[in-house]
Structure 1
Amino acid sequence: MLSRVAPWLASHKENAASAGISVRTLAGADTAALRRLASQDPVANVFILAHLRAAGSAAPTAGGAGVLGVFDDGILVGACWAGANLVPVQLDPEFAGLVAAAASNSGRRFASAFGPADAVLALHAGLAALGHAAHEVRDEQPLMTLCGPPSVEPNADLGLGRLADFDRILPACAAMFEEEVGYSPFLGGKEFYSRRVEGLIRQGHSLAHVNDSGDVVFKAELGAVTADVTQIQGVWMNPGYRGQGLSAGYMAAVVEKARTLAPVTSLYVNGFNLRARSTYERVGFRQVGTFATVLF
């Protein structure tokens, strides 16, 4: 156990610093370097690549979110998004302690850390050593991709979410969030989460089937989109329609929509959710890596 923890101890951090390793918040001039770094794995790093596509810069956002970069003698060798969440980018676990210290010193509160398991769990170890307790650690989340059409017939009832249905889609999104993380996304106020859902609808990244009775039967979002990869998030089936064998057809329809934007469709799923994993495999998804999520 000590050999796994040792890279994130204070003595190791001092050795790293003396070896020319430094951490700082990236600026606009670092954009190309960050894009090159993230492009080494466009599936695992779709979150930051989508951000760069939208923002056009590695500089901090107006809200104060930014990217912590790890430099080895001036060369960017790893990074970590530090906004509402921590998202490592090609981050070697041995540098996670330095990034954790920088994130902690920023004074920001992080709801979670998610991404490649080795980097996320190393960040968790570094943050824990600094007194940041985790609410839950999900250390095995298969990262899955589908590089072609789905293996089952898409459900034609799935369409793009419409602003006219916002008052139905928002509660469905909130229900999914609460099932997934155990608390309401409205705890800190309704406005931020509502804007997020509305933004996804406006972008054409919200997918839903609202039936004639006004029920949201199924919904999902394309949470991160680049020219190469989409990442499906927020998959939710209305409890009243579960157990009827509908999920695979809806997921196939999500893939069909996603393929109009990028050739590779990706998602990650909790390892313990065997039913969802079976559905995704039936649709044609295959595991290409392992993510982890730490909830704070």
Structure 2
Amino acid sequence: MDGQDTAALKSLAQQDPVANVFILAHLRAVGTAAPTSGGAGIIGVFDDGVLVGACWAGANLVPVQLDPALAGAVAGAANRSGRRYASAFGPAPAVLAIYAELLELGHRAHEVREDQPLMIIDGPPSVEPNPGLGLGSLADFDRILPACAAMFEEEVGYSPYLGGREFYSRRVEGLIRQGHSLVHLNEAQEVVFKAELGAVTSEVTQVQGVWMNPLFRGKGLSSGYMSAVVEHAQKVAPITSLYVNGFNVRARSTYERVGFRQVGTFATVLF
């Protein structure tokens, strides 16, 4: 897709602003559907000139309002690009259909997470927010970065520094500069809890990177921190969203206690 497709892509994504917050945040940031300077682009599926589905193809594959029946065309285009993808994530039917097609083309995942409840809260949290949570500061970058890396490694099973430290460090620094890093450092300057607003539009924020320092787990602190995340996020947009592994019963229980409810199901394929 290129710049002339921007309006059509935005209209398509707006059909579900929660599920499509990633691509809407991208469009908000760069203002165009054209490929990025790094070579990432958006695969569009057209029917008689009308955009009927799309998929971000950068470091990851992220389908946008993609009917699973169209997955073959997207997988074929992604395969021909020659790019290596770290993951595919988004609405489960589309992601799993893309993976089934990629599998036929020789792209085998090392893990498939088929059931990830997509949850939102659009009102005040049900638990008193922890007042210790605040915006991350660049002065604390050297404390925040290791916490982010620890979260990443726990979540996906390998270091975010694989292949180099610079890209991930820039990502974390960017989130801090944007005011999208939320953290609580205690008196000993340890990161107790942190999270990020990973994708942001005027309607929706998507919370990512939720992490509690192992030294402070099991103390009943999570719900207060997540309420504080919601409180901060709702200063930016009225709807706060996240997706969580279906097997993570403890986290799901915390989110429900805070007031999140399920509105869909995501899947993630890790290559």
TM-score over 0.5 (shorter chain): yes
RMSD: 0.3
Match 1:103 to one of 78, 81, 87: 78
Equivalence map 1:124-139=2 (5 Å)? 124-139=99-114
Q: What is the SS of the residue equivalent to 1:145? A: strand
Q: Deviations over 1:230-263 (max 9, x none)?
A: 0000000000000000000000000000000000
DSSP 3-state at the match of 1:257: helix
| Secondary structure in 2 matching 1:168 | helix
2:189 partner letter: G
TM-score of the pair, normalised by structure 2: 1.00
Q: Which amino acid aligns with 1:40?
A: Q
Count of equivalent residues: 271
Task: Specify which of 149, 152, 165 is matched with residue 124 of structure 2.
Answer: 149
Counterparts of residues 17-166 of structure 1 (less than 5 Å): 26-166=1-141
What's the secondary structure of 2:207's corresponding residue? Answer: strand
Q: How far does residue 197 in structure 1 lie from its aligned partner after superposition?
A: 0.1
In the aligned structure 2, how far is the partner of 1:122 from the partner of 1:269?
20
Answer yes or no: is 1:262 the counterpart of 2:260: no
Show structure 2 runs of 5+ residues with no match.
Answer: none
Distance in 2 separating the partners of 1:258 and 1:76: 32
Is 2:208 the counterpart of 1:233? yes
1:187-206 matched pairs, under 5 angstroms? 187-206=162-181
Letter in 2 for 1:110: Y
Gaps of 5+ in 1: 1-25
Shift of 1:214: 1.3
Q: Distance in 1 between matches of 2:6 and 2:35?
A: 11
- Select which of 151, 160, 166 maps to 1:176: 151
Query: Aligned to 2:88, what secondary structure does the other structure show?
Result: strand
What's 1:271 paired with?
A: 246
Quick one: distance in 2 between partners of 1:272 and 1:174?
22
When normalised by structure 1's length, the TM-score is 0.91
- Aligned residue for 1:96, secondary structure, equals helix
Paired AA for residue 216 in structure 1? V
**Equivalent residue, structure 2, for 1:3:** none
Alpha-carbon separation, structure 2, partners of 1:197 and 1:71: 36
Structure label with greater radius of gyration: 1
* TM-superposed deviation, 1:212: 1.2
Secondary structure of the residue aligned to 1:59 is: coil
CA distance in 2, matches of 1:212, 1:193: 27
